Structures are given as structure tokens and as C-alpha cells.
Structure 1
Amino acid sequence: MLAKAGSKRISEGYDDSPATHYSWDSTVNNHAKLKVGDVIALWDATELLGLSVIEDIETGQGEKETPYCLACGKADVALRKRKLPRFVCWNQECKHESDEVGWKRKEITTYRSRHEAGWIDARGTLTAAEVRALCVQRASQNSLRELRWHDFHHALTHGGVPLPLRVIDTTQKAITDGHGTATIRVRRGQPAFRKHLLEVFGEVCVFSGPAPVQALEAAHLYSYAANGKHHKGGGLLLRRDLHRLFDLGLIAVNPRTKTLHLAGELKAYPDYARLDGAKLAVPVTPDHVKWMAKHWEMHRANVPDDLMPRQVGPSHVAIV
């Protein structure tokens, strides 16, 4: 499902943060169609922002003031951006134009998705026009509209800026399989958490070695948003580009040998290829290894048996 985000929605009272959650209510067309396990793509007036898989949908009750047409009494009223009169009725039998509308307060059901686990930033991949063309109803003006998923998937993975969607695929499979696997992803840590990691490890990327502090990000090795606290051994410093590749599963750590394993497509790039099989640049604790094992289980299920790690801790959670 494609969802519209932007500053206008915030001014209308919606609580949005594209990478973590999205809000809508029962006044929105298609409001009841979204469900846990669905892919949600967020866009604005210019481009695709990103996509993820819905892990949970919180519902509630509230009230909202909605406009209605003074001529026909229906709520199919739109505020024009430039043209006057300011309002136009969308009712095909009315089409009344006016600078004034009526307002009524109604009870609504509110919805708020949680979709942090599989979030992939997609800025720079598809323009707004390209995204509209991939909707089931291309001319629709609804803030929630259905995408032709297979075409959308192909456009992202085979476009001018190919975007790996392993996180989406594995997260959706885990959720639709009945939550047998709780997918979690590496997230940028808060400033205090990053400061703590710098004090412990110094200005060193766990994959590549010493790096400028400006290039290092604090990686949570569990879903911080889901449990709201820092776990022992739950974070390391990663160089920004390597953080992204690890996030997408293109780099994984064999928890048995503590060496890096690169996806085939990365080996075409010499600067990355030299990391394949490399040892970690900092000593890690058994707690770190436990989280790395979960990431390995999710992204390296098909590697040869001699590379498979021995079981470390429970297998029902995975980093993606």
C-alpha cells in the first residue's frame, strides 16, 4: 500500500515519522485495508521516501472536524492549492465551487502503524510520477492507495538505482508466517549511546578498522524501539556505508569464526571485496556474538555447511 507523507499531514494533526510509524483515520479511503504483514511505501510530492513491512497497527477512537459541501451536504470537498474559489465538491452530481464550506465533528477510528523493523530508505530511486504509475489506480488522489507490488518490486530492484529488498522480503515472510521470527534491524543509536561506544571502542569501525569519527554510526544490534532500553553487548560502531550494507544483509558476520561474509554482488567492488573473510577489527563479547548469530541466521541460511555457525542462543529472533 502506498501512503502519502509530508508536512501538510502534520499540520492536519497526523503523527508521522516515515521510518517508524504512520497515522491515518477512518475518514481516509482504504483506511481498513492495511493489515499486519503488508508492505507500506511512503512518498511525498516529489519522490518515494522508503518502504517497510507493517509489524503492528494500533487503533483508537477520537473526534475530527471534517468539511462538507454547503450545496449537496456531502463530505467530498477538496481544498485547492492555487485556483479559486478555494473549495470544490468532488461529488460528480454537484461540483459546487465556493470559498466557504460547512464543518461537522464526527467520531473516528484512528490507526497508527509500527513498521521500523524492515525500513529501507528509498530516496533517489523513484520520482512521484513513477510511483503514481505503479498504483493500481494511477489517477487516484487517495492518501492510501494500492500498489502493483510485483511491478513496484521490479522497479526498485532493476531501476537506475537498484535497491536490494532482502529486508522487506525476509521481514514480510517472518511476519506472515505467524511471527515465528521476530525481525529486527540495525538502527542508528542515540547520541549518548554512540558516545558510550566511542569511549569503549575508540574511533574504530568493527568491520574495517580505524575511521574518522564523523563516519561512524552507533549500530543497535536489536530493536531499540521495540524494547526501549540498551542491552549489554547490543551495540557496535560501523562506518556509515558498511552500516547500510549490513542493514541490508549484504554483509554478515560468521559468529563461529568472527569473520565477514559478503554477498556476491559486493565482491565486484575491490574496496569491499577485500573485507570478505576479514576478522573483526575489535574484540567482541559473547553477547555481541549472540546478536550477530541472529543476523547470520536470517541472511545466510543457504551458505555451505562448513560456514554455518554453531547455535548461539535462541533462534526465534533475527537481525535483518
Structure 2
Amino acid sequence: MTAWLMLAKEASKRVSEGYDDHPSTHYSWDSTVPNHGNVQVGDVIVLWDSKKLLGLSTIEAISQGESTKQTPYCPKCEKADVAERKKLLPRFKCWNKTCRYTFDNAHWKTKEVKTYRSQHESAWISADGLFSADELRPLCVKPKSQNSLRELDWEKVRQALANISEPISLNIIDATQKAIEGGHTITTVRTRRGQGSFRKRLLKHFGEKCAFAGPTPPQALDAAHLYSYAANGEHHTSGGLLLRRDLHKLFDLGLIAVNPKNKKLDISEELMSYPDYKKLHGSWVTVPVTPEHMKWIVEHWKMHRDTEHDNAILT
């Protein structure tokens, strides 16, 4: 699996440079960026802000387009290999090996560029601050690279994530990548908070009740979609459940799933050392679910349980 470390700068700076991105859903770059054409659907995208890790996901789609961009060039050699310096003066430096000229005022030209925008919402795992910049750089194939888009050694990344005090499950990233390889549609659970009308409908339908844990204060309940809202564009009560926030996150990551055959909770081995979660294993879903709910529950099960286990359950 190929993985890329991509620099998500401060939002205002990205916008001023012609980029439009949001770390948890999409990221933009163009043909002026080294490695711009090497990124593929199914690759892992790891975003950082030059100081710390933000999160990671699997790229579901890449849209392409064309645009124009203002780029600086060296007034001496007329090459475009120019960078603005943050602390040193003169302000600009030409990085052409045969030039290395420094100057205060760059010359600018308009350039036609190809634009790229990833869609990676379905498998997004927030990991804000989990690794520092100094911990991320050695995980790159070329640790000394200064490119904003760098190839990562994915096995090193996996090992690093497995060795932290609270390891992050990569099940959703692996499952999404396999689904893409197999030509399947990505269907997963995404958290959508602040959706007043959708949440109100679920509360009216189910009452103040977590589908996994039973009666729960409404302040602790999330309105959880059992489908990719981004793909469907609508809120369907038959495609949602109310889940306690911690259980929603674990369900999102596939650490908790619902066995479609008997509607009982299946708790992963990773959670069995926690008594409060272990006791949920084998318990029934606490609210009535419709055939429409089951359609999405089956998709979630397929996403997060291996093929052999899946076949044994569903046949």
C-alpha cells in the first residue's frame, strides 16, 4: 500500500494560494507540486500541519481540473525554482543549483496548472497531535525531503501507530482500501453532529435510547448515519441510529459491529480488556431495526469483518 504525507497549511494561506481543502474530507494540490501525479485512488493520505499529525485516511476518489496560478521566478536565471524565505533576507532565493541568487522582489508569471482534489471522508481517522513533526519525518521514504507531498513508508507508519500507548485501529483504512481494489462502493458510518432536524427525528422515533447501551441522557447521544452521507446527500431516519458518543466512535472504527444474522453486538478483541465494553459482547441491539437499517448494518459488517467470518455469518 502506498502512503503520502501531505502538508495541510494554515487554512487562510491555503486559500490565498488557490487551494481548497478540509483535512477530514478533502485535500487539494496542483501540478507544481513534486509527486503530484503519483497519488492514486486507494492510497493512504496522512495529513500534518508541519508541526504535528492531523489524521489519516484512504483516498476514495481524485477529481482533476485545470486552472491558472501566479508563480515567482528568478530575475537572474529566469527559472521558477524560487522559494520565499520566512526569516532571512533578501526575501526570495533561487534554488537552481547553477544560480542560488537571492533577491527582494520576485518576478511573477501566470502558469497553466492541473489541479487535483482528493475525497477521503469515509475512512478518516482523527489523530491530532499523536505524532510530532520530528516523529513523522523519519517515517518518510526520503526523511530529508522538503516537499509538501512526500511518500511514506507505510509499514513504518503502521508499526509506529501500533507502538503508542493507545494504539489506533487501522481496520477502516484497510477495509476501505480493499473495497476500492474490489470495485465496491464505500459505505461506512460517519459522525454528523449539529444536524438538528435529523437528530430530532431519531429522538422522536427511538426516544432517549442508545441502540447499543439502552437509556442514555440526550446530551450524550450522537445521531449516527449508517451510510455515507456525503454520497447520498440526504438524512434518512431509516439509515440512522442514536449512539452514545464513545460507542459511536468505536462503531465508526469497526471495533464494535452488529451481527446481521442475530442483531447482537460483536466486540473486537481489542476492546475485550475493558469490562464496560466486554459486557456488551453478544447483547441485543436495544431498539427495533427495520430492513432498511439491516441493509446498512450488513454493509458495515462486511467492511469491518474478514471475508471468512462474514461468509460464515451470512450463509
Give the TM-score range, shorter chain: over 0.9
Distance 2:148 2:311 in 1: 48
Instruction: Provide Cα deviations, 1:269-300, integer angstroms capped at 9, x if missing partner.
Output: 01111111111122221211221122122323
The separation in 2 between residues aligned to 1:264 and 1:303, in whole angstroms, is 14
Tell me the equivalent position of 2:191.
188
* Cα distance change of structure 1 residues 69 and 248 upon mapping to structure 2, 3 Å threshold: same
2:230, 2:103 → 1: CA distance?
46
- Distance, in Å, in 2 between the alignment partners of 1:75 and 1:218 is 50
Indicate the residue corresponding to 1:278 in structure 2.
Answer: 283
Residue 8 (structure 2) aligns with: 5
Question: What is the match of residue 32 of structure 1?
Answer: 37
Supply the AA of the counterpart residue of 1:280.
Answer: V
CA displacement at 1:304 relative to structure 2: 8.7
Distance 1:112 1:247 in 2: 24
* Paired position in structure 1 for 2:78: 73
Does the Cα contact within 8 Å between 1:25 and 1:111 map onto a contact in 2? yes
Q: Distance in 1 between matches of 2:292 and 2:231?
A: 19
Residue 18 of structure 1 is matched in structure 2 by 23
CA distance in 2, matches of 1:305, 1:173: 16
Deviation at 1:144, TM superposition (A): 0.7
Change (3 A) 1:210 1:175: same
Q: Cα deviations across residues 189-238 of structure 1 (Å, max 9, x unaligned)?
A: 33332232222222221111222323221111111101212335111111
C-alpha root-mean-square deviation of aligned residues, in Å?
A: 1.7
Could you tell me how far apart the structure 2 residues matched to 1:36 and 1:126 are?
25
- 3-state SS in 1 of match to 2:113: strand
TM-score between both structures, scaled by the size of structure 1: 0.91
Matched, 1:116 2:113: no
How many Å separate the matches in 1 of 2:256 and 2:222? 16
Structure 2: which 5+ residue stretches go unaligned? none
| Shift in Å, 1:93 | 2.0
Helix, strand or coil for the counterpart of 1:233? helix
- SS of the aligned residue for 2:28 comes to strand
SS of 1:16's equivalent? Answer: coil
Q: Are the equivalent residues in 2 in contact too, given 1:40–1:54 (CA < 8 A)?
A: yes
Q: Which residue of 2 aligns with 1:220?
A: 225
Residue aligned with 1:116, SS: coil
Shift of 1:122: 1.6
Distance 1:268 1:116, change over 3 A: same
Answer yes or no: is 1:104 the counterpart of 2:109: yes
Contact in 2 for aligned 1:232/1:287 (Cα 8 Å): no
Distance 2:285 2:61 in 1: 35
CA distance, structure 1, for counterparts of residue 91 and residue 66 of structure 2? 30
Q: Which residue of 2 aligns with 1:49?
A: 54
Q: Superposed, which structure 2 residues align to 1:236-255 within 5 Å? A: 236-255=241-260
Secondary structure, aligned partner of 1:62: strand
Q: CA deviation at 1:303?
A: 3.6
Q: Find the aligned partners of 2:86 and 2:197 in 1 and give their Cα distance.
A: 43
Secondary structure in 1 matching 2:89 = coil
Does the 8 Å CA contact 2:198/2:237 hold for their aligned counterparts? no
Are 1:94 and 2:99 matched, yes or no? yes
Cα deviation, residue 139, structure 1: 1.6
How many equivalent residue pairs?
A: 307
The 8 Å contact of residues 202 and 237 in structure 2, kept in 1 or not, is answered as no
Q: Alpha-carbon deviations, 1:69-113, whole Å to 9, x = none?
A: 112211111112222222112222222222210000011111111
Q: Is the 8 A contact 1:125 1:160 kept in 2?
A: no
